[in-house]
Amino acid sequence: MSLIKYSLKSITMVFSVLFFFHSAVFALSTKELIESFNKISSYSTLLKSEGENGDNIIHYFYKKPGFIKMVFVKPHEGATLVYNQKTHKVKLKPFKHLSSFTISLKPESSLITDPKGHTVDQSDLGALLKNVLILSENGTEKIKNKVFYNKNFYSVLSVKGNEGFNFEGIFQYVLWIDTKINLPVRVESYDNNFNLLEKVLLNDLKVNVKFSDNFF
């Protein structure tokens, strides 16, 4: 009898742990993702984007409060772009084999903004999550399920605008969240007709990275 009681108690404890884990994972929201981002000091990732503006592959480095470095793989292989938050200036080295040639620009320069006018200083994960929050505050969000992707399980958060509302042409975001760090590693954006506008992959995302002194 005591063995049966012990077994029942063990099973109850297991289900309690599983329920807690399930609740913790599925309680994620955009605001909680922003809180997770606020807790980190830096991150690095191999950023891959596919969309109407073409495909990009960039080694991306971010250090708070807003220092950014991009090393391009595709297009413009070898080009390097560095944003200094203190000076609010961008240092551009456009040629891989001519590192001494540097151009100083403002983030708003048309040479380094995308077709939608997005600037380097607003290219980080925190800026993206703020955009998602705007859509969430004018719509709904829902954790869809857990999916297997890139050898791991992830929670998927869908954020959809109310009927007739979009943010910069985006009606829905779908974020694949690494629950170990509570940050998205894949972000898809859709228009009002649910056409895919852009897919962004944050491969090999590492947080709280200690950068060398020559980060810039």
Average pLDDT per block of 10 residues along the chain, 216 residues long: 42 38 57 97 96 89 95 93 94 85 93 86 96 97 81 90 94 94 96 95 96 71
Please give the pLDDT value at position 44.
Answer: 97
Q: What pTM was computed for the model?
A: 0.83
Please give the pLDDT value at position 211.
Answer: 87
Please give the pLDDT value at position 148.
Answer: 78
User: Domain coordinates of the chain in residue numbers?
Assistant: 31-207
CB 174 within 8 A of CB 156: yes
Please give the pLDDT value at position 95.
Answer: 86
C-beta contacts of 159-168 below 8 A and 24+ residues apart: 159/30, 159/132, 159/135, 160/135, 161/135, 162/138, 165/135, 165/138, 165/139, 166/135, 166/191, 166/192, 167/131, 167/134, 167/135, 167/138, 168/116, 168/131
Domain 31-207: which CATH number of 3.90.1510.10, 2.50.20.10, 1.10.1040.10, 3.90.230.10: 2.50.20.10
Q: What are phi and psi of 26, to 5 degrees?
A: -85, 0
Residue 126: which of 51, 183, 206 has the closest Cα? 183
